[in-house]
Structure 1
Amino acid sequence: MVSIPTPGHPVRGSTTGRPIMALFDLVGRRWALRVVWELLDGDATFRGLAHRCDDVSSSVLRDRLRDLTAAGIVERGDGGYRLTVDGRELVELLRPLGQWSQRWAAREHSVENGHARSSSEEVH
């Protein structure tokens, strides 16, 4: 069983214990962000969430819900699973990364279609 990443402890890819590295380990796990995004649409039962997540396997969904619940991002209530206040705050903080990723994708698409990058866009 893989341990749940927590600030102050080594995580995959980092031994520093930095909170940001624990967060990236947590949200970088298979299906973790998808579960969070799907819960933006409201509470969901386990089965309903599995369906929203394109029928993710029950073992993977169970593991992600365990991780996200232990981290305080998801909680279980009367209507099923839902985002906590911290979970909703995390989503708001991730929105700028989503916007950045859209610009990045557009640049990459442009390069793939034969348009050169400007010198300010070159990766060093």
Structure 2
Amino acid sequence: MAIPLPGTPVRGSTTGKPIMALFDLLGRTWSLGILWNLQQGPATFRELQHRCEQISPTLLNSRLKELITLHLVEKQACGYQLTQSGLALINIILPLGDWSKNWAKQVQEYTL
């Protein structure tokens, strides 16, 4: 599967609108999870694998390559970390985490 680049066909868009390329990327197994776990700070490959609930090394390696190519993650001496673009994206996603906690409470109340 090709890296979802804005301006090229991606899942859901033949024109590759930037938002659709982003949704394609974030919808891939563990892409969002890797970004979410790197918000805690830099991590070595092994530490990131542990943070991601023992993701397979092959899948982690593939996703890291994609995220690096798309300038959301970078590799430094301390390990992998979010770039400025990655941090900006996480800052947009963080409120969804709060929303999801409230939503989970509501769902539990309705299903009891």
TM-score normalised over the length of structure 1: 0.81
Cα distance in structure 1, aligned partners of 2:97 and 2:9:
27
Number of the residue aligned with 1:20: 19
Which structure has the larger Rg over C-alpha atoms?
1
Cα distance in structure 2, aligned partners of 1:97 and 1:9:
28
- Deviation string, structure 1 residues 65-91 (Cα, Å, up to 9, x no partner): 011111110000111111001111100
* Greater share of helix: 2
> Within 5 A, what are the aligned runs for 1:41-52?
41-52=40-51
The percentage of aligned residue pairs carrying the same residue is: 49
Aligned residues: 112
TM-score normalised over the length of structure 2: 0.89
Cα distance in structure 2, aligned partners of 1:62 and 1:46:
8
Gaps in structure 1 of 5+ consecutive residues: 114-124
Runs of 4+ in 1 over 6 A off after TM superposition: none
Gaps in structure 2 of 5+ consecutive residues: none
Question: Alignment RMSD, CA only?
Answer: 1.5
Number of the residue aligned with 2:32: 33
